[in-house]
Amino acid sequence: MTGKTDFVKMSRGDLSPRAQRLNRDSIFVDIHNHMMFEYAIHHALGRTDIFDTCYAPGFRQGGINVIATSVGGNSPCVCNMTDDLVHGCLEQIDMLMEAEQSSSFRICKST
């Protein structure tokens, strides 16, 4: 044994029936996503339908049903080139609320 793992490239059709069923019936969550850094740039450039055109196809292809993304932080694109991180956070929440107008994006809020 060499200690290496050999990975075999497979297509979805190569999966066992059980694995296909699990993939089809399961919810897959991307729990650490920083898409808002790039999303803010698309928004600043005036692009529309950002989630549906830039992100949803990749998530669908990867079988991702749910994403957890961050808002705020210290990236210049997140704080809109100001020192006011609260402003940047609220601006990103507003972008997410706009994205909720799309056909494939919903915000799950906790209270």
**Which pLDDT belongs to residue 79?**
57
Tens digits of per-residue pLDDT, 49-82? 999 999 999 988 888 988 888 776 665 555 556 6
Q: Judge residue 84's burial from the number of C-beta atoms within 10 Å of its C-beta, 0-12 exposed, 13-18 middle, 19 or more buried.
A: exposed
Domain residue ranges of the chain, discontinuous segments joined by +: 26-99
Tens digits of per-residue pLDDT, 24-44? 899 999 988 888 888 888 988
Rounded to the nearest integer, the mean pLDDT of the chain is 81
Output the CA torsion sign for 74, 80, 84, 89: negative
To the nearest 10 degrees (0 to 180), the angle between helices 35-44 and 85-99 is 80
**Which pLDDT belongs to residue 45?**
93
The candidate with the shortest Cα–Cα distance to 60, out of 28, 17, 31, 33, is 28
Q: Percent of the chain, pLDDT > 90?
A: 14
In the chain the beta strands, taken as DSSP E runs, fall at: 29-33, 66-69
pLDDT at position 84 over 80 = no
Please give the structure tokens belonging to residue 40: 């803010």
